[in-house]
Structure 1
């Protein structure tokens, strides 16, 4: 921060991934056999921050979106992909989400095939029609997850209240001297006690929510199809929690785009039962979560680093360090900084920290 506004990363072009031709021959052969026809075109996904394979594969029989990762070197990704496939297979019918088609392992890799969506990430700053489509789509999703089916909850999903305590709440760590303070703008430099008090309410609020939430709802996990409908992707962090948490995380990215985000949050069906300070509590938590991890990337990548529940390297390991797992986009740190500044700036405006 420090007076220089963060620039959003190009969310449509953040990924560093292997291409189809980079995969082991045995894996490509197994995928081709499962598709039932040779791959005639492969379009690698350019969005995202992890380094797993992700591409739309086209054959004479149609198109499939395939994710794949090395079972030994990228075990966290293979676990995510398997969990996402299990979630997608059990989400209520009719929702705008891709559905799984198959899964396989070959040549030491795990792969899952999903419906291929013909879409793109929304543009920043938010365009009114695109934002309206995304908010309408999330209203549909949040309503369906307010009373989720039993086979979905039977997956043993985590609770946001627990995840908040272990991975999200970082201002308390800063106040206790266990985490370095990130650079803060003048308006927020003396607000650490208030930030700690606000974020500390999140676990209690989340614990009372009866439904499920996406858990990682950012604009780069949304695709708009050619008809303008919003589709919601990357469901590996589904958890028990309040829908307003998802909504706040989504709107953070559009905070500086001239949009009345306060009104959009307050008027959305997902906030019908939200506590009066739910938005401030979530913004405090997200700002600390992002900003404490937004420093320069560590010089070395390590395969043992913890990867947290919002899909980013981080978390709270025993030694207090947050190293870089392998195959992470170098733009991840720009994403963290941008998101953290957006959240803290929005909170500062709401609380008149000027």
Structure 2
């Protein structure tokens, strides 16, 4: 399959959801953020942003306690495992059956693009109250964006919104390594349509927000990313494949496709486990299930193993904590393939 055809799959059937203005795709495509899907609406969004109608920039990162539930349209349907037409299917006996994440995280809106810290105590995710609202309206609704919850005494707290340096932006697709957050954003000053940004955690706040630079955002055109625990290798989405590059002498160099991972289908949204031994990603199901699926590849000492499909049926964006629990997004569809909403799910690692 040509690169152009693979990239085209990401544009079809626009319906914003997840990381940033994620568009829901038909069963034969992968719903990624992703970095090129705003071509049609971006100009409108930036014009709205530059008009100054969203309020002034904030000099530091803030968290806000807006009411997510109040923002969800009246009559919105909350899907449950019992009413799910395409429940997640697990293909491994290493984990318990996937279930919706407990606590106040999931709503009748769309929760997507999860990131969990290795200790399993901090959850970042993207939220938008209505999957039918276009991105230019998400930008100004006051609730669409990154949200954060902390687990205290085994229970998730009520999520709060994280504003990263500006209210005039649409942010998502969080990845955190040590004290650095990487995220994707539509905002003024971007090199491209959706740029990668960096924030630092200082004094209990995410601050020092800055663009990751022209090399990553224009030259390499990096998509959703993760970085190895040692900080030396970046894995990222690149036009329907998963690519990698090395951090050498203060710069990212040698971009290339990851061997043995990519196929003629779409692969995206990579994640490296905290021990650096497993590469997880989203890809079109290779077992005949509808929509995207969650895959795993294991480092064998010299390279990555053949990917194994772990969870099927509209499952994607996997992230694992240090105990091996899998957090992922599950999109709910009707039997006639109409998108309804999305939730964060978890498959707990079985105790040995």
Question: When the two structures are superposed, what TM-score results if normalisation uses the length of structure 1?
Answer: 0.29
Normalised TM-score (structure 2): 0.29
Bigger CA radius of gyration: 1
